[in-house]
Amino acid sequence: MAPQLSRQTENPATPYIGRFAPSPTGLLHIGSLLTAVASFADARAHGGLWRLRMEDLDPPREMAGAAAHILRTLEAFGFEWDGEVVYQSRRHELYRAVLDELRAQGRVYPCYCSRREVAEQARGMGVDGPLYGGRCAHGASATAKTPAWRIRVPAAVYGFGDAVVGHYQQQLAADVGDFVLLRADGFWAYQLAVVADDAEQGITHIVRGQDLLVSTPRQLFLQQCLGYVQPHYAHLPLLTNRLGQKWSKQTLAPAIDAAEAETLLRQVLHWLGLPEAPPVGHHRELLDWAVAHWRMAAVPKAAIVTEAGV
Binding interface with Zn ion (CB under 5 A): 111, 113, 135-136
Give 153 or 304: the residue with its C-beta nearer to Zn ion. Answer: 153
Give 72 or 145: the residue with its C-beta nearer to Zn ion. Answer: 145
Residue type, 101: E
Give 115 or 242: the residue with its C-beta nearer to Zn ion. Answer: 115
CB of 187 to Zn ion, least distance (A): 17
Give the CA distances from residue 168 to residues 42, 185, 212, 216, 309, in Å, rounded to whole numbers and listed in that order: 21, 32, 12, 9, 28
CB of 102 to Zn ion, least distance (A): 17
Give 3 or 134: the residue with its C-beta nearer to Zn ion. Answer: 134
CB of 282 to Zn ion, least distance (A): 56
CB of 81 to Zn ion, least distance (A): 40
CB of 140 to Zn ion, least distance (A): 6
CB of 113 to Zn ion, least distance (A): 3
Give 128 or 285: the residue with its C-beta nearer to Zn ion. Answer: 128
Give 80 or 120: the residue with its C-beta nearer to Zn ion. Answer: 120
Residue type, 80: E
